[in-house]
Amino acid sequence: MEFELTKKQRDMKDALTQLGKFVIRPMSLQMDREHRVPEDFLQRFVAMAGSMRGSDEDVTAAFEDVKREPPSLDKPSQMNRTSLVGAEELAWADASLLLCLPGPGLGGPPIRGSGTAAQKAKYFGMIKDLEKQGKLAWGAYGLTEPAAGSDVAGIQARCRKDGDGWVINGRKCYITNGARAVWVVIFATVDPALGRAGHRAFVVEKGTPGFSVGKIEDKLGLRASETAELVLEDCRVPAACLLGGEESYAAKSSGFQTAMKTFDATRPLVASMAIGIGRAAYEHARDAVKDRYMLGRPIARYAAIVERLARMHRRLEAARMLTWRAAYMADVGQPNAKEASMSKAAAAQAAVKACVEAIEIVGAEGTIAKEDQLLEKWFRDIKVYDIFEGTGQVQRVVISKRILSDLKSF
């Protein structure tokens, strides 16, 4: 595995770091208090991202669907690794902004991986067409329910075939960009008793009768990002909205596997975001220690502080290597379910601990929100990274099952 970034990745990383330091961070607390990212800033960012893509297929593929050969060891992609590099830098600046960026979002991977050619053309085309008109457009991913999130097999939203279409009933919660998305990938089941075999995935467009937005959540962290409840009441969609088409569900658990494939792609991405926040907290604590202490003096407290900084740095570096490995495996077409879960579990824990230890090192000042003091915000933002995209406990279950997959009784 090659650890060196390509020149295009280094250039993108440097550009995002400068943008984060001089533009995003100064407006971070204001966005947090107002629970939104200014639309004019998002417009400028979309324009900048478009210029960064250029004609490079791998960089373009990190942002939108493109026709390409499946990746392999002989013909590796850079798409997933490019996404990770960008995600870490933007999260280092402000993770809420990253979640607010227009585009297919988490709805992109299931359509890219399981959708028909017509579905890919239609739904990615909707985003692109609106972007060309100078409008912001989002896609979204609707899996989590009030009683089923990490336990994907337990979803209760129901769907039934009715004539030449489907009728969906249920509620989805904690859906990022759910209220403003032009379409949402919705998971439902034909019968909860069937477990995974009953799962179906649909692309439901905004404005479909019976499809509405419930409440917008008021959250502990990531406040500038939109997190919505979605309600489906006798929501009728045509058969063409069934992701992958009817024949793709002949194999048992294909709907469930669509969700799992999405997680294999997005868990390393979420892990990189956590690392970005954890790195920001670590750097803040490191710089504070440099300013306040003469660490060369033989004082026990100083030695303890140095040890804590070293431990924070070590955990974050190890977590980054796990995320890059998971992304590399995806870029060469290798199954990465275990590695994706390992990266998510390790990165979330390392970043949460980094934020906690940073506040303990800095002291009371770390709990105060100021424009040049974002540690309090990072502390609020980081906790959800051990929860969404599958909790840390669920990641450890996935890892153990993969390790012990040859034991039928497990």
Question: Would you name the residues annotated as active-site residues?
Answer: 389
Neighbour-count burial of 310, counting CB atoms closer than 10 A to its CB (0-12 exposed, 13-18 middle, 19+ buried) = exposed
Q: Which residue has the tokens 């409840």?
A: 229
Q: Is 305 left (phi over 0), alpha (psi -120 to 50) or beta?
A: alpha
DSSP 47-79: HHHHHHHTT-HHHHHTTS----PPP-SSS---H
Q: Given 3-state DSSP classes, what are the helix, strand and coil percentages for the chain, each rounded to the nearest 5?
A: 60, 15, 25
d(CA 213, CA 291): 49
Query: Cβ distance 278 to 354 under 8 Å?
Result: yes
Going 318 to 319 to 324 to 325, the CA torsion angle's sign is: positive
166, 160 contact by CB (below 8 A): yes
Q: E strand or H helix at 272, and its extent?
A: helix 254-292
d(CA 269, CA 343): 9
* Radius of gyration of the chain measured on its C-alpha atoms: 22
Asked whether 230 and 184 are in contact (CB, 8 A), the reply is: yes
Q: Do 127 and 137 form a contact (C-beta atoms < 8 A)?
A: yes
Residue 52 makes CB contacts below 8 A (sequence gap 6+) with 12, 15, 59
